[in-house]
Each structure stands twice: as structure tokens, then as C-alpha cells.
Amino acid sequence: MASKMTRHEWVISGEKGILSMDGAGFHIPSNFAIENLYYILASNDYLCDVTYAVDRTREVHCYQIMYLVSGTMTVRYEGKEYPVPEGSLILLDLRKPHYYRADSKIRMQWYLMNGVSLPAYYEYLTRAHSPVFSMDRKLIFLMNSLKKEMMEQEPNDHVVSMLITEILCSLSINSGSEQSEPISRALTYMDAHYSEPVSLDEIAAHASLSKYYFSRQFQNEVGLTPWEYLTRARMRHAMQMLSDGGQSIESIAYACGYAGSSHFCRAFKKETGFSPAFFRKFLSNVPMGLDAGGPDAGRESEKE
């Protein structure tokens, strides 16, 4: 449960420059939340002067998300320094040394959080992005909603987890659009030529990069290898053609850049868990319900 504390009870040892607080304090999540959901361990809303600074070198096994409502800050993290303008969101892995300070009078919301899948989501978000994110109206609304929920006498762990999920998803969507020009050209090329037997050398050349540097940069920015992206693009088109009907699996394989149906069927099953034949059968039965036998029926068959 959340507990409101006095200034002297709640100020974390060593934190100076805090003028006032308007937050919930510590929260004890349920065992179910700890094992299955995203959850908040502590939160607060600080008004600070320019002397406010935090320098942590000892590991804290959780993550911190901060919403800078007003003012400017500086964050030093993993050997780099980042300016933080008003209206930004900061995401930190507190297991790593970090430092942040107020560069002016500031107001910020902060939350200590955790969750089973949070380490993976954090890595996904920061693989090709700094720990400082710009915010849109939706993110601001979500952060304020999270504060409101944490101020309740008994915050609902499911509501808290839902809000954190939406915040992470919004960050993913917003940061996903930040791609360099070479990688953007490569994506456009692959989307236009998925039906051809393109090589990594061709794609890298279209991006004007060496294939080794291109492969690393592509994965950093997109989160997939070039082949994984190309395979997914081909599978999306294959699914559409299977749903339209009228074409044989052999012709769909060639239309999606595969040399034959055998290779295509293996790739399709690896990506979706179903054979192309079963996927087509499943779609034809969707309006009336799946035929008896369940989702495993027909998986072994690759023929029409």
C-alpha cells in the first residue's frame, strides 16, 4: 500500500536541493504483481532548486523513469552526458552508475519500477536511443495518470501495470521512427524488392554502407537483423496472398522471393508456427469457427 511521509522521513539520504514534494512515497506491490506484472516500488513529485543532484555508483536492482515537468537537467550515463529539456522523459537502469542534476529550478515526477520483462523492454528501448526521450500529449497524460493512481490510498496493481505498459509501448512507437537516412533507404528498398532474391551486399550498397557496418547499424536501429526484417516482410505479403486465395503455395513462394515451395514452407512455419496450407484453411474457417481437431490439425501438411 502507498504511504505518505513527512519530508524528513521520505527524503532519500544524500539528496539535497529538494524544495517540496507531492508524491505517494513507498508502495508494496502484491506477490502476484511482483511475479507477473510491471510494478512501482516508490514514487514522488519533486520541486527542486539548482543545487539538486544525484550521483549513484552503487547498484539498485530496479529501473527509474522520470518526467521533467518544468526546467532543465543534465544526465550522465554510460560515459555520455545528455541535456534534458523541459517535457522530457528519462529512463535509467539503476544497476548502472548514473548522475543527474538540475540546471535550473525544476519540477519532476519519478518512479522506481520493476517487472519480469522490464530488463528486455529496457534493452529494446535504449539499444539505439539515449536514455532521454521526447514526450507527446499521450505520454504526458499517461505519466499524470500514473501519478494519480499512485496517490490513491490503495493503488491498483493492475492499473499501474497497464499504465506502465502503455508508457513503454508509446516510447517504443515514438523512438522507432528515429532512423538514419541510410537505414531508412534500406528499409524502403527491402519493402519494394521483397519478391526478389536480394543479397545483403545489394541492400548494404543501396544504403551506401559496408555490409558489416550496415548489419550492425541496422540491428541497432531496427531491432532485427536485415534478414529477419526481410523475412518478416515476405511473410506479411505471403499471409495476405494466402488469405486472398486463388494462388498456389508454389506461386506464392516465388512471389515472395523464395526459390521454391519447400524453402518457403519451412520459413513460413518457423515464423508463424503453422504451415501455409493450415494457415489458409484456418482463415477460410474463421467466420464459422475452426474445424474440429484444433490448431495442431494439419500442421504437418504442406500441400493444398
Neighbour tally for 254: CB within 10 Å? 15
- Tell me which H or E stretch contains 202: helix 200-206
3-class SS at 17? strand
**DSSP-H helix ranges across 62-117:** none
DSSP 81: E
pLDDT in tens, the chain (304 residues): 444 433 333 445 457 899 998 887 889 999 999 999 999 999 999 999 999 999 988 888 999 999 999 999 999 999 999 999 999 999 999 999 999 999 999 999 999 999 999 999 999 898 878 999 999 889 999 999 999 999 998 999 999 999 999 999 999 887 655 578 899 899 999 999 999 989 999 999 999 999 999 999 888 778 789 999 999 999 999 998 998 878 899 999 999 999 999 999 999 999 989 899 988 888 776 543 333 344 444 443 444 4
| DSSP conformation letters of 237-279 | HHHHHHHH-SS-HHHHHHHTT-SSHHHHHHHHHHHHSS-HHHH
DSSP 33: H
Alpha-carbon distances, residue 222 vs 93, 171, 199, 205 (angstroms): 21, 14, 18, 18
Neighbour tally for 125: CB within 10 Å? 19
- For 196, what's the count of Cα atoms within 13 Å in the CB-facing half-sphere? 10
Residue 41 identity: L
Taking the C-alpha atoms of residue 195 and residue 188, their distance in angstroms, rounded to an integer, is 13
Taken in order 52, 145, 10, 132, the sign of the CA dihedral is negative
User: What domains, with CATH codes, occur in the chain?
Assistant: 7-176 (2.60.120.280), 181-285 (1.10.10.60)
